Amino acid sequence: MPHFLSEEWVEAFNAAIADVEVSAFLPPDALATANSRYRVEQLIHGVPPGDSVVRTILIVEGDSVRLTLGEPSDEVEASEASVVISLDYADAVAMSKGELTPPQALATGRVRVRGDLSLLITGQGLLTAMSERLGALQQATTY
């Protein structure tokens, strides 16, 4: 069973979304953003043990999407990320389990967003398609 935010979990995440075709879920003009490549980074604060920061990077490139782990730094250059989302570990877990939706987290101030928020709005169909494929991972993940 993969542990949330581990390398194994990221590999399982990518395997679950491997067949997602970005163009099927985004408007054609959205793919022109940043030369058909953009990054959505999450900074997850208070990750046990030791209250560390974990940085995940969702990379949309051409017609594919993948997740990676980045360096645990709060300093993200504007040229690297289209959007940076900061949240605490408890909220990241709740979102992973489907107990908290991104719109709920945003509306209640449980996440902070920097960058091009329109990418998140445009990408709702893609995010929904990915979440539908992550059910088995959601059930297998340990926290």
**pTM of the full predicted structure?**
0.85
Q: What was the pLDDT predicted at 128?
A: 80
CA distance 21 to 62: 9
Please write the tens of the pLDDT for every residue from 61-70.
888 899 999 8
Find tokens 């030791």 and name the residue: 50
Report the candidate in 23, 50, 25, 54 with the shortest Cα–Cα distance to residue 41. Answer: 54
The CATH number for 7-132, chosen from 3.20.20.140, 3.90.1150.10, 3.40.50.620, 3.30.1050.10, is 3.30.1050.10
Report the candidate in 64, 17, 55, 11 with the shortest Cα–Cα distance to residue 37. Answer: 64
User: In degrees rounded to 5, what are phi and psi of residue 12?
Assistant: -65, -40
Boundaries of every domain in the chain: 7-132
Please write the tens of the pLDDT for every residue from 20-58.
888 777 666 655 554 567 888 999 999 998 889 999 999
DSSP single-letter state for residue 30: G
